[in-house]
């Protein structure tokens, strides 16, 4: 549930409400909305709920106490109706602009990274990706250059001005990755690694949480809830495909998840057609499809010589293919942004969007 303060509630009244919530053994999370402050009450409420609702509703400065119907609370639109906008260096994610995250699957050398970084920057990428610690299915496959790759990524950021995103695989890596990277990525295999989620919830870096390949949307949002409830509100969701019975593609890209997520949550949504399809020639149509259904951006793998790549060779775009993708995706994004101003069809009783675009 959350406490809706009156318009113009004083700081003392807000503090008093938070103090009462803490005294009940629950955690208060304040969100300053456009007009008024709302405070989520997070924790195991159980049978005390009716008593607590009455007690909080009677406090000075409180207008109402409202239940949150979803199991995810802080990440829900009910609690936080406005879109979350993540700002990192010059990149703004979730404000309606087109986010393009591009770069190699793995950082293989300084030269390979710089050549890719320069090319994707010139073509219009807004974030540079590159794997340093690689989660590989086989223990014998290339595992990434580790800290050496983090240093190259930091140099590439200095060179291009692009913020860098890279994966953190385990709690012991969080500090070192956060020292170099601008955005921390949690990979599909770690979506329910709760100690890792809590740890990235405590650092001052945005986190991109990829969907577990066997996870429902609700499990995914509950994983995001771990990060936000640990203190980090800057979470980005990434649909990277789920496992189905289909074998022609590496995974099945769940495009319906994009508008669904915009309906359920205020967090920005990115699509990753590289890992979703596993095939270079399918990346562009699915990237465009993701933007057409309202994604805030795309993450794609790009390599100067994909066939020689040390990981995910079949799905990485060439530099030319990335330029071609940019040329075709920008107008689609512009066309879809135009739809955002239209009234939504099929909005829920809560007045929360159900249309093609999220606004
Ligand atoms: C990646 O982006 O490098 C990656 C390993 O992706 P995923 O976790 O989605 O497989
Ligand atoms: Mn990859």
pLDDT, tens digit (0-9, with 9 covering 90-100), for 65-87: 999 989 999 999 999 999 999 99
Average pLDDT over residues 99-122: 98
Q: 73 C-alpha vs ligand 1 centroid, how far in Å?
A: 27
Q: What is residue 275's DSSP assignment?
A: H
Query: Which atom of ligand 1 is found nearest the CA of 131?
Result: 3
Which phi and psi angles does 103 have, rounded to 5°?
A: 155, 180
Token look-up 């512009």 returns: 334
Ligand nearest to the CA of 167: 1
Residue 330 has what pLDDT? 98
Percentage of the residues of the chain whose pLDDT score is greater than 90? 91
The length of the chain, given as a count of residues = 359
Phi, psi of 42 (to 5 degrees): -115, 135
Q: Tell me how many helices (H) and strands (E) the chain has.
A: 11, 14
Distance CA 344, CA 299 (A): 27
State how far the Cα of 212 lies from the Cα of 132, in Å rounded to an integer: 20
As residues whose CB is below 5 A from the ion ligand 2, the structure lists 105, 312
- Which residues, other chains included, contact 103 with Cβ-Cβ below 8 Å and sequence gap of 6+? 113, 116, 117, 120, 125, 128, 129, 130, 301, 302
Contacts of residue 66, defined as CB under 8 A and 6 or more positions apart, other chains included, come to 1, 2, 4, 78
Please tell me whether residue 279 adopts helix, strand or coil conformation.
coil
Residue 353 is predicted with a pLDDT of: 41
Quick check: CB of 187 below 6 Å from ligand 1?
yes
Mean pLDDT of 204-210: 98
Q: Taking residues 297-307, what's their average pLDDT? A: 98
Q: Residues 10, 15, 20, CA angle at the centre, nearest 5°?
A: 130
| Cβ–ligand 1 contact at 297 (below 6 Å) | no
């Amino acid at each position: 549930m959350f406490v809706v303060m009156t318009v113009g509630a004083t700081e003392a009244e807000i503090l008093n409400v938070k103090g009462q919530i803490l005294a009940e053994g629950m955690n208060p999370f304040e969100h300053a909305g456009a007009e008024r402050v709302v405070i989520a009450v997070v924790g195991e409420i159980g049978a005390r709920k009716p008593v607590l609702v009455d007690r909080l509703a009677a406090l000075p400065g409180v207008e109402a106490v409202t239940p949150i119907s979803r199991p995810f609370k802080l990440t829900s639109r009910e609690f936080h109706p406005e879109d979350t906008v993540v700002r990192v260096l010059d990149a703004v994610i979730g404000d309606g602009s087109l986010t393009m995250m591009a770069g190699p699957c793995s950082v293989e050398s300084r030269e390979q990274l710089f050549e890719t970084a320069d090319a994707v920057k010139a073509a219009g990428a807004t974030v540079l990706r590159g794997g340093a610690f690689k989660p590989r299915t086989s223990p014998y496959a290339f595992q990434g250059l580790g800290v050496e790759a983090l240093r190259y990524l930091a140099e590439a950021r200095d060179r291009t001005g692009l913020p860098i995103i890279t994966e953190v695989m385990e709690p012991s890596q969080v500090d070192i990755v956060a020292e170099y990277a601008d955005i921390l990525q949690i990979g599909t295999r770690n979506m329910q690694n709760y100690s890792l989620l809590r740890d990235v919830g405590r650092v001052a870096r945005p986190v991109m949480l990829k969907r577990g390949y066997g996870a429902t949307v609700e499990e995914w949002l509950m994983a995001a809830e771990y990060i936000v409830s640990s203190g980090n509100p800057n979470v980005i969701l990434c649909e990277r495909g789920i496992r189905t019975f289909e074998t022609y593609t590496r995974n099945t890209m769940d495009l319906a998840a994009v508008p669904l997520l915009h309906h359920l949550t205020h967090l920005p949504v990115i699509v990753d057609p590289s890992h979703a399809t596993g095939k270079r020639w399918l990346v562009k149509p699915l990237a465009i499809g993701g933007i057409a259904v309202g994604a805030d951006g795309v993450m794609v793998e790009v390599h100067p010589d994909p066939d020689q790549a040390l990981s995910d060779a079949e799905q990485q775009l060439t530099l030319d293919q990335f330029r071609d993708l940019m040329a075709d995706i920008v107008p689609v994004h512009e066309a879809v942004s135009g739809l955002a101003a239209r009234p939504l069809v099929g909005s829920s009783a809560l007045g929360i969007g159900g249309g093609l675009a999220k606004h």
